[in-house]
Amino acid sequence: MKYKIVVDSSSNLKNDYIKDDEVGFAVIPLSVRIGDKEYLDDDNAEVDQMLEDLSNNKNGGASSCPPPGSYAEAYKDANNIIVITISSKMSGSFNSAFVGSLEYENKAIHIVDSKATAGVIQLIADKAYEMIKSGMDFKDIEIEIDKYAESLNLLFILDKFDNLVKAGRMSKIAAFVATSLSIKPLCVAHKGEIKILKKTRTMKMALKNVVNEMKQIVNDDDVNRVCIITCVQNDSNVEKLKNIIETNMNFKEIRIVGAKLLDSYYQLPGGLIISF
């Protein structure tokens, strides 16, 4: 196989996302441990069971990045490979992808730090596939895919910050402000880190603030943009947010994607991630 796209499971994608004899695709699973049980974030991930176990465990849990060998195995059957991982400031997945690549001196392996998670990784994978199928030279793809990744944005609303704080993914001060004041903060992935952008008291206002912020970021004349909303389980607010975005903005497509294991662990029920 000449080309392959590899992502980690924080993308919420499955291994059959791209079906193409000319372009391979693989999802490398992260994992979550709760008590003495380890959950692998693969295509058969037990999200509901993990969340139930998490709610019943006073000590919480922990996540783990894939070992380098998992990436190295995925690189075997292709010569030109684009790899896209969760933010390197939030996980060791990027580093594992790099270490795994050291086994293959004769392969062209380009690793993209998404500086985000969820839909941002999916959008980068879509763009990489589009570029490969267009016949673009791999060296040009490397340059252009990095530019594209920098153009993407991720906003999110979380109801709980417990696991992000425990894992050191979010400032304890920021989380304390959010939880002690009982607010629904609008957060942003800024250079790979989580920052509180605005504070609101209700989910209704938080949803409105998402769209207001998106309108400041996105040029409404760019009709080719795709928006991906990631939710945990069947969140009742996800359709509300989609309708608000459709009414006020001009996206080519708005997708609703269910969070797999890792994103569900950190996002928790009630959280929404908006990638565009």
Q: What is the mean pLDDT of residues 234-245?
A: 92
Mean of per-residue pLDDT scores for the chain: 90
Q: Would the pLDDT of 172 be above 60?
A: no
Give the model confidence (pLDDT) of 149-165 as tens digits.
999 999 998 877 666 66
pLDDT of the residue at 175? 55
pLDDT of the residue at 129? 98
- The share of the chain scoring above pLDDT 70, in percent, equals 91
Give the model confidence (pLDDT) of 40-53 as tens digits.
999 999 999 999 99
Those residues whose C-beta lies under 8 Å from the C-beta of residue 235, and which sit 6 or more positions away, are 269, 270, 271, 272
Q: Which CATH class is domain 3-30+65-150?
A: alpha beta
How do 37-40 and 186-190 pair as beta strands? unpaired
pLDDT of the residue at 165? 63
Q: What is the mean pLDDT of residues 221-238?
A: 89
Three-class SS of residue 186?
strand
Contact 116, 148 (CB under 8 A): no
pLDDT of the residue at 204? 87
pLDDT of the residue at 189? 81
Give the model confidence (pLDDT) of 25-37 as tens digits.
999 999 999 999 9
CA distance 31 to 40: 4
Domain limits, the chain: 3-30+65-150, 154-275
pLDDT of the residue at 8? 98
Those residues whose C-beta lies under 8 Å from the C-beta of residue 191, and which sit 6 or more positions away, are 89, 115
203 pLDDT band, cuts 50/70/90, is confident
Q: Would the pLDDT of 6 be above 90?
A: yes
Q: Let me know the angle formed at the C-alpha of 103 by 102 and 108, rounded to the nearest 5 degrees.
A: 70
Q: What is the mean pLDDT of residues 264-273?
A: 92
Q: Would the pLDDT of 181 be above 60?
A: no
Q: What is the mean pLDDT of residues 260-266?
A: 95
Q: Which listed CATH number (3.90.650.10, 3.40.718.10, 3.30.1180.10, 3.40.640.10) goes with 154-275? A: 3.30.1180.10
Give the model confidence (pLDDT) of 61-109 as tens digits.
999 999 999 999 999 999 999 999 999 999 999 999 999 999 999 999 9
pLDDT of the residue at 163? 62
CA distance 71 to 106: 16
Q: Residue length, the chain?
A: 276
Fold match between domain 3-30+65-150 and domain 154-275: no
pLDDT of the residue at 53? 95
